[in-house]
Amino acid sequence: MEKRKNITVNKKAFHDYEIVEKHEAGIVLVGTEVKSLRQGKVSLKESYVEIRLQEAFLLNSNITQYSNASYNNHEPRRKRKLLLNKREIKKLERKVKIKGVSIIPLRMYFNKKGFVKVEIGIAKGKRLYEKRQVIKERDIKREMDRELKNYR
């Protein structure tokens, strides 16, 4: 497995959605955006991926403006193009046509070559009782681990 330096992880996505499938995509950025990413100033909380005219775009992601830039700084919430093959885009488009399925960014990271990559996931929304069940199972597992630790 290749070395990845996580920039940010969308924890809310793992709580609110059941991730069915994961894909890796490149992203088109300007220079000041990359510098902000190196500082870790990015948020994927409310972002999502939309497919328009056989192109995938990351919408609503917030990359904070670079503090040391001059007049040519970037727009923090602009739409950013994702780099995927046409075949991959068509596959994603077919999956999204199913009701209740969406494409969301899961994490953003630098790969070992230094390029920024976005891991996107095909996700189904969880209902409230499913979220409660996951929390309950996690608490039970934590209690069991505590008891086993005390037993040793």
Structure tokens at 45: 């909380």
| Domain ranges across the chain | 5-126
Q: pTM of the full predicted structure?
A: 0.78
Instruction: From 87, 93, 94, 83, select the one nearest 57 (Cα to Cα).
Output: 83
Q: How far apart are CA 125 and CA 75, in angstroms?
A: 30
Residues 34, 68 contacting (CB under 8 angstroms): no
pLDDT value of position 3: 62
pLDDT value of position 2: 56
Question: Which parts of the chain sit beneath pLDDT 50?
Answer: 1
CATH class label, 5-126:
mainly beta
pLDDT value of position 1: 47
Structure tokens at 35: 């510098």
pLDDT value of position 118: 95
